Structure 1
């Protein structure tokens, strides 16, 4: 099973990227092929109609599309900035289509320096899957008080939260197995209805 983890921070050496590496360590018990996409490093252009025409500025998007198309599941990680998800992650979701994400499960994860973190999850649930038809898990993870939650080697310190992460990754894997035939069968049938109602 292939998993793609997207670190949605635009900052270098971000806590979101640390969370991506922490979850990658845990996810190896469920997934045998894991890739991290760091949106800071990728520095994708903001969405414009040129992405549909394959303009030169979008050449870097082609291998990303291929990576996403071959993935069975996703983790989307965003820091909470002013109660919102990052522009980089929302732009990433604008660029994705049903061809890459439809009927595949995705775990939403937010990262907060304080006790907050729920607003970005709510924001992404409202519009993040409208045209790409990705299936957000009913569960999510919020890495609160992030500065004290991870050790120097990016292990999760809180034992209860670690158990919750392990459970949620197992849930993601279960959804990936269950949705595989739906993705295979329904993706071509859904083409006439790809933009919703």
Structure 2
């Protein structure tokens, strides 16, 4: 199975990217191909209607969309900035369609330097899947006090949280197996309703 991890921070060398690399290592027991999309490095333009027309500024999106369409599951990671998910991750979700994400599972992960981190999860659950029809897992992960939670080698220092991460990745893989036929069968039937009822 294929997993795509999206690091939603716009900063270079971010803790979100460290979390992405940590989860990649843990997910190898469940997924045989794992790719990380670093939205800082990708530096996508903000959504505009040109994406529908295939304008030149959107040529870099085509290989990303292709990678997403071949993925069985996703992890979306965002730092908490002023209680919100990043503009880069929300822009990324604006660009995605049902072709890439519909009826596939996604794990939401937030990263906080303090004890917070729940607001970005709530924000993404409210609107992040409206038109792309991705299926957010009922569980999520919050990397609270991330500076002490991750070691310099990007390993998780809290054994209880490590066990939670391993369980949640196993859950993501289970959903990916179960939803694969739904994606296959329902995607063509969904076209009349792709923007809602």
Name the TM-score, length of structure 2 as normaliser.
1.00
Aligned position for 1:82: 82
RMSD: 0.3
Aligned position for 1:166: 166
State the alpha-carbon separation in 2 of the partners of residues 77 and 151 from structure 1: 18
Name the TM-score, length of structure 1 as normaliser.
1.00
Counterpart secondary structure, 2:151: coil
Counterpart secondary structure, 2:187: helix
**Alignment of structure 1 residues 34-183 onto 2, 5 Å:** 34-183=34-183
Aligned position for 1:13: 13
State the alpha-carbon separation in 2 of the partners of residues 18 and 196 from structure 1: 36
Counterpart secondary structure, 1:190: helix
TM-superposition CA deviations, 1:108-155 (whole Å, max 9, x none): 000000000000000000000000000000000000000000111111
Unaligned runs of 5+ in 2: none
Shift, 1:74, TM fit: 0.1
State the alpha-carbon separation in 1 of the partners of residues 90 and 148 from structure 2: 27
Shift, 1:187, TM fit: 0.3
State the alpha-carbon separation in 2 of the partners of residues 3 and 193 from structure 1: 27
**How many pairs does the alignment contain?**
197
